[in-house]
Structure 1
Amino acid sequence: MEHRGLDAYGYFEREGSLGQVQAEFAPVVAAARARIAEAYGRRLHSAYLYGSIPRGTARPGRSDLDLLLALHREPTDEDRDTTEVLGRGLDQDFPQIDGVGVLLYGKDTLIGEQERYDLGWFLACLSTPLLGSDLAEHLPRYRPDSLLARETNGDLALVLPRWRARFEAASDPSEYRRMSRFFARHLVRTGFTLVMPRWVGWTSDLTESAEIFGRYYPLRAEQMRAAAAVALAPVEDPEVIRSYVEDLGPWLADEYTLRHGTKAPRPTHQPA
């Protein structure tokens, strides 16, 4: 029987925990905890892990370390510079990770009404507490419904022009590799949340996400499976990226709008 990430009442179970961190990554997590506390001091409200490391599915040398930091106030340019130094240092010091991603917000943004079904859901359901008081205590419980689908990934149509501009400006194979990974991950996750209310469940596994998507869109199933493979093993082929920004991405954006509508306008939170 499939485990669909929900409790007996149909609410999301929080995925990941510090107890699931594999032994290879325990020193990375310990260093992140210590360095975050030292870098931000009293400015920090709380810190969280997300992604494959707290899920216990990370691959040494291939997985990145993903962090969400909540400050008492909205971050300044100095705070963002501190984040960049923090991430670069962890990446350089620990060969078992391949990059560090850090999301940085003020706590009021994370628990505010505008982000209730996007960043708030992300913190409450997909992030593992690492430091400080858990902001999830201030957020509701969530179900895999169309509102959540719309507010998490209903902005692909707005993101695609930035992707195209980035692709057209690129020429270095390493940049193509980074883009292929980032774009593929985003598309697979968007494809899954498109069908999430019909499947009635949650998974963060990209391969499983693509398979579930394919049950509802068989004509696009192979394309999404290939994107899931690229998300896990990025490529330097620009034609793969071109297919994302000219074919799969536009189709997915149109279908998403048709099914769930458009995400409520807000400032951009993550680089596209």
Structure 2
Amino acid sequence: MQLPVINPNIPFQSQYQPVVSSLIAYLKAGLKDNLHSVYVYGSVARKTASPGRSNIDVIVVTHRHFENQKTTIFNTLRWRFKKDYPFITDVSIETALVDEVASLDSLFSWGFLLRHCSVCVYGPNLAECFGHYEPSWEIAKFWNMDVADWVSYYRDKIAKSNTPDEQIKAQQTIAKKLLRASYSLVMYRDKQWIDDPVTCGAQFLHYHPERQTDIERLGILLKMQRVIPKRSVIGLLDDYGQWLVKQYQKTEFRIG
């Protein structure tokens, strides 16, 4: 079964089209002939973004490295977007070189991300270098085998958070990651690709109904706009997060 692609002919949500247009104009001006192509992924690409809750995820592909300019260009971009588009919570930017993307070594990384999770908004579409993908353990493994690092990082971040906003952002981020990683664990059996974290959790429960309480708690963390007691969040990460880590290790041992 081939995984679906995002239809590039469906327009972005009206509130986000000016954001994408400004993004392209700014990157063209800042990178000039070094810019190869620009891609949007995440909720903006899927046309499901929620003002005040969603960020914009961007991939910038260049011909050459630009380390000396990168910090200035991207920090200025974030500052301008925060001022001009306050409903955008953040601008998340990934960069790559053309030669890195159009490579067999990038089959399950850039290839999958561009082909099935992104929309090309400027330049030659490198997604066309890759064929359609099928649900597989290789995809799930590539994107989630570092789940142990996520759990450790966000556990520490939540424990040390000093402000409500800092903790809320961290607890929402790790909830989203764990819900998606939960579904990816069974994706090769379920034969689908699901990106919405709530739907990921619901589909995962078809295979692991015994984890319903954990999935419900992750859903609360994801949607809650207030602080959850740190002890409760850390307890969930120590229990369910570590269970998920072990399941990935077991599945990797079985499948390879």
**TM-score by structure 1 length?**
0.84
Q: Which residue of 1 aligns with 2:175?
A: 184
Matches within 5 A, 1:93-112: 93-112=84-103
CA distance in 1, matches of 2:54, 2:175: 15
Q: Answer yes or no: is the 8 Å Cα contact 1:48–1:130 preserved in 2.
A: yes
> Matched residue of 2:120: which SS?
strand
Deviations 1:50-109 (A, max 9, x none): 111221211222222111111213451531431232123213211332222112222333
Alignment of 1:48-127 (within 5 A): 48-127=39-118
Change in 2 beyond 3 A, CA 1:95/1:200: same
| Corresponding residue of 1:207 | 198
Contact 2:151 2:174 in 1 (8 A): no
Name the residue aligned to 1:196.
187
Compared with structure 1, are the counterparts of its residues 115 and 226 closer, same or farther at alpha carbon in structure 2 (3 Å cutoff)? farther
| Compared CA separation, residues 15 and 215, structure 1 to 2 (3 A) | same
Structure 2 partner of 1:167: 158
* CA distance in 2 between partners of 1:187 and 1:234 (Å): 18
For the pair 1:40 / 2:31, whether they are aligned, the reply is yes
Map of 1:255 onto structure 2? 247
Partners of 2:202 and 2:68 in 1: CA distance: 41
Query: Cα distance 1:109–1:247, how it changes in 2: closer, same or farther (>3 A)?
Result: farther
Q: Does 1:246 align with 2:238?
A: yes
* Alignment deviations for residues 96-152 of structure 1 (CA, whole Å, 9 cap, x no partner): 322221122223333334432123211111010011111112223211111111112
What secondary structure, in the 3-state scheme, does the structure 2 residue paired with 1:117 have?
helix
Choose the corresponding residue for 2:149, options 138, 141, 158. Answer: 158
1:134 aligns with 2:125: yes
SS of residue in 1 equivalent to 2:36: strand
CA contact (8 A) 1:22 1:56 kept: yes
Aligned pairs, number? 254
What value does the CA root-mean-square deviation take over the aligned residues? 2.3
Give the whole-Å Cα distance in 2 for the aligned partners of 1:245 and 1:92. Answer: 35
The answer as to 2:146 corresponding to 1:144 is: no
* Structure 1 residues 81 and 214, CA gap change in structure 2 (3 angstroms): farther
TM-score norm. by structure 2 comes to 0.89
Could you say which residue in structure 2 is the equivalent of 1:268?
Answer: none
Whichever residue aligns with residue 247 of structure 2, its letter is E
SS in structure 2 at match of 1:116: helix
Structure 1 residues 120, 173: CA separation in 2 closer, same or farther (over 3 Å shift)?
same
Question: Per-residue deviation at 1:258?
Answer: 1.0
Separation of aligned partners in 2, 1:227 and 1:27: 33
Identity of aligned residues (%): 24
Q: How far did residue 16 of structure 1 move?
A: 4.8
Cα deviation, residue 176, structure 1: 0.6
Name the CA distance, whole Å, in 2 between partners of 1:255 and 1:231: 22
Letter in structure 2 aligned against 1:61: G
Q: Structure 2: where are the runs of 5+ without partners?
A: none
Question: Where in structure 1 do 4 or more consecutive aligned residues deviate above 6 Å?
Answer: none
Unmatched segments (≥5 aa) in structure 1: 1-9, 265-272
Three-state SS of the structure 2 residue aligned to 1:115 is: helix
Q: Distance in 1 between matches of 2:47 and 2:138?
A: 29
**Equivalent-residue separation in structure 1 for 2:222 and 2:119 (angstroms):** 22
- Select the residue among 16, 23, 26 that pairs with 2:14: 23
